[in-house]
């Protein structure tokens, strides 16, 4: 196999490669991280920061304040404000982001799931037998399993505008779950029983329904998915080893426009001269 441009696979890097190879190349090979993120993503990161502190032992009020501080320290140039171009418009959008953040995190902390926490923001990169590259993952929580006294569960938090379909076998969840399975199993040296996702809806439900939804993936019934995962990692690795030109994906909802901007950078002036000449 040719020399590989990356040192490991993560859930985000694999999904980005499958969705938009050129955006993947920019971020994970060239390591250029200048693409602004959405306000919703900033809200989600701030909420994650609050929960990281809460499950590390800080009280609710302090955890919420630390998440808000994280959001306020995110500079404007890192946020895609969309139509809000002026300083006043951005300031107004930031105020809205803070309201959404406070609403979401307070929804969650009104009745936070209780766990015997073994690890918070557990990061690891591990070798997996049969895979050509190591696997990297970050687990929001690693907890004592409530259904297996010998095992652990991995807990993931997501702050969303709408709940995912009511299916525990959602492919993206399963893909992320297996990344975390491998890293947690090797790091904690214990059986990994479940991957549990807690989704918190940011906007208030008008009918008063719960803002929280829970999904659970029991690894005992997902054996075939591990075979598919391993094959996907091997095939993706082979693809990046032999691909010399990465093409943009204009239909990518998140980075389609940006991928064309990246692709345009690599066009030489001579190519314009050779291929675009006004008719005489």
Q: What is the pLDDT of residues 41-59, one digit of tens each?
A: 999 999 999 999 999 999 9
Q: Which pLDDT does position 277 carry in this prediction?
A: 41
Q: Which of 16-20, 110-114, 127-131, 212-216 comes out lowest in average pLDDT?
A: 16-20
pLDDT band with cut points at 50, 70 and 90 for residue 193? very high
Asked if residue 263 has pLDDT above 50, the reply is no
Q: Which pLDDT does position 176 carry in this prediction?
A: 95
Domain range spanning residue 54? 32-110
Q: Which pLDDT does position 278 carry in this prediction?
A: 41
Of residues 156 and 208, which shows the higher confidence score? 156
In a domain, 24, yes or no: no
Give bridge partners of residue 144 from the DSSP assignment.
152
In a domain, 87, yes or no: yes
The mean of the pLDDT values for the chain is 88
8 Å CB contact between 154 and 179? no
Distance CA 153, CA 139 (A): 10
pLDDT band with cut points at 50, 70 and 90 for residue 93? very high
In a domain, 100, yes or no: yes
Q: Which pLDDT does position 256 carry in this prediction?
A: 46
From the CB of residue 60, how many other CB atoms can be counted at a distance below 10 Å? 16
In a domain, 194, yes or no: no
DSSP 8-class letter at 211 = S
Distant-in-sequence, close-in-space partners of 7: CB < 8 Å, separation ≥ 6: 133, 134
Secondary structure (3-state) at 25: helix
In a domain, 69, yes or no: yes
- pLDDT tens column, 124-136: 999 999 999 999 9
Question: Percent of the chain beyond pLDDT 90?
Answer: 71
In a domain, 241, yes or no: no
Number of folded domains in the chain?
1
8 Å CB contact between 114 and 155? no
In a domain, 207, yes or no: no
Distance CA 9, CA 15 (A): 10
In a domain, 88, yes or no: yes
- The angle at the Cα of 256, spanning 132 to 33, to the nearest 5 degrees, equals 60
| φ and ψ at residue 71, rounded to 5 degrees | -65, -45
pLDDT band with cut points at 50, 70 and 90 for residue 243? confident
Range 49-57 contact pairs with CB under 8 angstroms and sequence separation of 24 or more:
50/105, 50/109, 51/105, 51/108, 51/140, 51/157, 52/120, 52/121, 52/140, 54/109, 54/112, 55/115, 55/117, 55/120, 55/141, 56/120
The predicted model scores a pTM of 0.85
């Amino acid at each position: 196999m040719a020399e590989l441009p990356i040192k490991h696979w993560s859930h985000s890097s694999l999904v980005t490669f499958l969705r938009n190879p050129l955006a993947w190349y920019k971020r994970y090979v060239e390591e250029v991280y200048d693409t602004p993120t959405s306000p919703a993503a900033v809200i989600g990161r701030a909420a994650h920061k609050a929960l990281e502190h809460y499950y590390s032992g800080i009280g609710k009020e302090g955890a919420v304040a630390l998440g808000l501080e994280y959001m306020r320290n995110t500079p404007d140039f890192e946020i895609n404000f969309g139509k809000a171009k002026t300083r006043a418009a951005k300031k107004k959008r930031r105020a809205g982001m803070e309201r959404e953040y406070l609403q979401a995190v307070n929804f969650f902390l009104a009745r936070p799931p209780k766990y015997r926490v073994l690890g918070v923001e557990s990061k690891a990169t591990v070798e997996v037998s049969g895979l050509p590259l190591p696997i990297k993952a970050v687990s929001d929580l690693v907890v004592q399993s409530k259904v297996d006294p010998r095992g652990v569960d991995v807990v993931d938090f997501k702050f969303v505008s709408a709940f995912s379909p009511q299916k525990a076998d959602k492919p993206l969840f399963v893909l992320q779950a297996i990344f975390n399975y491998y890293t947690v199993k090797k790091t904690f040296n214990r059986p990994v029983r479940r991957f549990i996702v807690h989704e918190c809806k940011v906007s208030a439900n008008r009918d008063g329904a719960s803002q929280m939804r829970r999904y659970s993936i029991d690894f005992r019934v997902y054996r075939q998915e591990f075979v598919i995962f391993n094959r996907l990692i091997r095939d993706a690795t082979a693809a990046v080893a032999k691909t010399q030109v990465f093409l943009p994906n204009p239909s990518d909802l998140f980075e389609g426009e940006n991928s064309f901007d990246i692709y345009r950078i690599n066009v030489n002036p001579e190519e314009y001269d050779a291929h675009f000449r006004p008719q005489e």
